[in-house]
Structure 1
Amino acid sequence: MKRLPLLFILFIALSAHDLFIKLDTYFLKPNQKAQLYLFNGTFETTENEISRDRMQHVQLVGPAGKQVPEEAQWTDRNKATYLSFKTGVAGTYVAGVSVKPGTIALSADEFNEYLKHDGVLDVLASREKQKQLTQPSRELYAKHVKAIFQVGDELSEHYKDVLGYPVEFVPQQNPYALHEGDELEVQLLENGKPLANHYVYAGFSEAAKHSHAHQEAEHHHDEVQQKTDKKGMVSIKLEHEGQWYLRCIRMVESKSDTLDYESNWATLTFEVR
C-alpha cells in the first residue's frame, strides 16, 4: 500500500473543507431565540470561522417572508461562526449563506488527491483521460449552503424555495413531513436549471452535539454516493433518525488564462425524527 507523507495528509485534511449550516436541533419553537452555526470542515468537525466580508446572500426565509441578518448577529467561537436570531410564526424555514470565491493553487499530487478525497470523480477521470495527472492546478472555488428547519408543528412550503445560488439543492418534499424509512427526492440545480449526471453524497449523524476538535477531515462513514438523473434528481432513503446532509462539488475547466478550474460547492442540511 502506498503511504502518503504526513504533511501531505495534513494538507488534504485542512484544504478539502465542506461548509455546512448546522443547528443543535432543527426543531424549534415559534418566537424562540435560536442559533445556527457554520461548520467549515466536515459535518462533525469545524476547522475555522468564516469572516463576515466573505459572506453574501445570507437569508432566512419562512412564512413571514425573508430576513437578512445584520452583521452584529454573527459571532465566532471555537472555530465556528454563529448566527443568533429569533424564529417567527410556525412553519418550515430555509436558511442560506453564500461565500465569495477564493483561489487555491495545488501541485498535481495534491489536486488529484483532493479530487479523490472529495468525490470529484468526473474531473479526476477527465484528467486521467487527457493525461493531465502530472499537471498542477489553480482553482477558483465558492461555497453555497442551505439548511431547512421546522418551527412549531405547522408545515409550510418554504423547504422548496430556490435561493438563486450557482449550485443548490431543492427538496421535492418537506423533510418534516417524512420519517425514518421514508425517501426524500432532492433536485440539484445549476444556475436555476437541473444538473444531470452529477455526483451527490449524502450522510447523517445520530448525535446532535458538535465537536470543534482538530481532526483529519473525513466524511461521515455512513455517506452514500449517487448520481443525479436527467432531471437533476436523487432519491435519498432516510434510513436513520438524526441530522442529515447532502453535498456536491460542481467543477468545470476555466476559460480564464490564470485559472485551470472553477468550482461551486453546495450542501443542504435537515433533521429526521
Structure 2
Amino acid sequence: MTAVLACASLGISLLIPCKSALAHEFWLVPVATPQRVGDTVALGLQVGEFFQGDDLGFSNAQTVTLKLYTASSVKDLRPQLSLLTLGKSIATFKLPLNQAGAHVVVYDSQPSVISLSADKFHAYLHDEGLDFIKTRREALGQALKPGRERYRRFVKTLINATDPTSATHPELEASDAVVTRSTGQRLELLPLNNPFKLTPGGALSLRVLFEGQPLAGALVKAWHRRSGQTLTVRATTNPAGEVQLDLPYAGPWMVSAVHMVAAQGSDEIDWDSLWGNLSFSLPEAPAVNDDTRKK
C-alpha cells in the first residue's frame, strides 16, 4: 500500500508537523551512509517527537538486547556494554565496522510504566492508529478511567560499510540478506528490500511483525527532517502486514509503528504497548556527469 503525506495541505509536500497528544518516539540515531570498512561509528539513542530528540545514552540496566547482525555473524554486544557502563550510562556506544556490507544493530529496552488521564490516553491511541484499544476500554467500562500502560522499545538501525578498494562493491548484494533477516524482536519492522540500493524517490517495502506474525492494520510512519521541517509519510499495513513507503529525499530516515495488547499478570497495569522503530540513511543519487548525460 503506497503511503500518503501526513497533515498535508494541498500542494505542500514538506510539512510542518501536526502536534501529537503524547507520542514520544525512541530511536537509534541514523549513521550517514556509506561508511568505510575500518571506521568506528558512535551509536546514539534519542527520544522525542517529529524526529527531533534528546540524547539518552546507553545503560546496561535499561537494556534487554543489544546485538549486531552482519553477513558473517550475530554478535551479542551486551557484555561489552556492561563493561563500558559499570553501573552508569554512556553517551554513545562505539561500534567498529570490521567488514564490508550491511550492519544491523538491534536494541530492546526494559519496560517502563505510565498512567495517563482518559482524554490524553485516547488522544494518544488515536494518533498511533490504536483506536481499537479505545473501543475495548469502552466495552470494558473503562472509558473514563486513566490509561495504565507498560511500554517497551524495539528498535534497530541499518549501517552500510563499503570497501574503498573495490570498484564493484559485491558486499551490497550480500547486504540484502542481512537487512531483510528477521531479528526476532517482539515487534519488528522488517525491510523487504535494501534501502542502501535505493535513491531519492525510491520505495521501501517492509513488513510489521508481532511475535513473528504479520500485523495487519498497523499504522506505520516514516519521518525525515529537512530545512527545519518534518516530513511524515504514513501507511497502514495490509493483511500480510506489509506497507510500501515512498522516500523522496536522501539522508536520515526513521520508521515507526506501535502495537498494544491487554496486560497479563498485573493488577497495576492494563495495557502493554510495543514501540517498533527502524532507522537508516538513504543514499544520495549518483552524480551525473557529462559522459553520463551523453549516454
Q: Secondary structure at the match of 2:230?
A: coil
With the length of structure 1 as denominator, give the TM-score of the two structures.
0.81
Question: Which of residues 227, 237, 242 in structure 2 aligns to 1:233?
Answer: 242
Question: Which of residues 78, 98, 112 in structure 2 aligns to 1:88?
Answer: 98
Q: Within 2, Cα distance between the matches of 1:131 and 1:47?
A: 39
Deviations 1:165-224 (A, max 9, x none): 1100111111111111111110111111111111111121247x9xxxxxxxxxx73212
Letter in 2 for 1:169: L
Letter in 1 for 2:194: N
Please state if 1:142 is matched with 2:142: no
Which ranges of structure 1 fall in alignment gaps of 5 or more residues? 1-11, 210-219
Q: Within 2, Cα distance between the matches of 1:182 and 1:112?
A: 35
Deviations 1:232-253 (A, max 9, x none): 1000011111211110110122
Structure number, greater radius of gyration: 2
Using a 3 Å threshold, how does the CA distance of structure 1 residues 175 and 56 change in structure 2: closer, same or farther? same
Please state if 1:29 is matched with 2:3: no
Using a 3 Å threshold, how does the CA distance of structure 1 residues 162 and 196 change in structure 2: closer, same or farther? same
Using a 3 Å threshold, how does the CA distance of structure 1 residues 226 and 165 change in structure 2: closer, same or farther? same
Q: Within 1, Cα distance between the matches of 2:273 and 2:109?
A: 12
Q: Within 1, Cα distance between the matches of 2:265 and 2:121?
A: 18
Using a 3 Å threshold, how does the CA distance of structure 1 residues 64 and 88 change in structure 2: closer, same or farther? farther
Please state if 1:169 is matched with 2:189: yes
Which ranges of structure 2 fall in alignment gaps of 5 or more residues? 1-20, 163-168, 284-295
Letter in 1 for 2:204: L
**Aligned twin of 1:60:** 68
Paired residues of 1:40 and 1:49 also in contact (CA < 8 A): no
> What is the deviation of 1:118?
4.2
Q: Within 1, Cα distance between the matches of 2:89 and 2:145?
A: 38
Counterpart mapping for 1:1-273 below 5 A: 16-42=23-49, 43-46=51-54, 48-69=56-77, 70-71=80-81, 72-73=83-84, 81-127=91-137, 132-152=142-162, 153=169, 154-155=171-172, 156=175, 157-206=177-226, 221-258=230-267, 259-273=269-283
Q: Within 2, Cα distance between the matches of 1:226 and 1:94?
A: 24
Letter in 1 for 2:276: A
Paired residues of 2:129 and 2:218 also in contact (CA < 8 A): no
Q: How many residue pairs align between the two structures?
A: 247
Identity percentage over the alignment?
25
Q: Within 1, Cα distance between the matches of 2:246 and 2:157?
A: 18
Aligned CA RMSD, in angstroms, stands at 2.5
With the length of structure 2 as denominator, give the TM-score of the two structures.
0.75
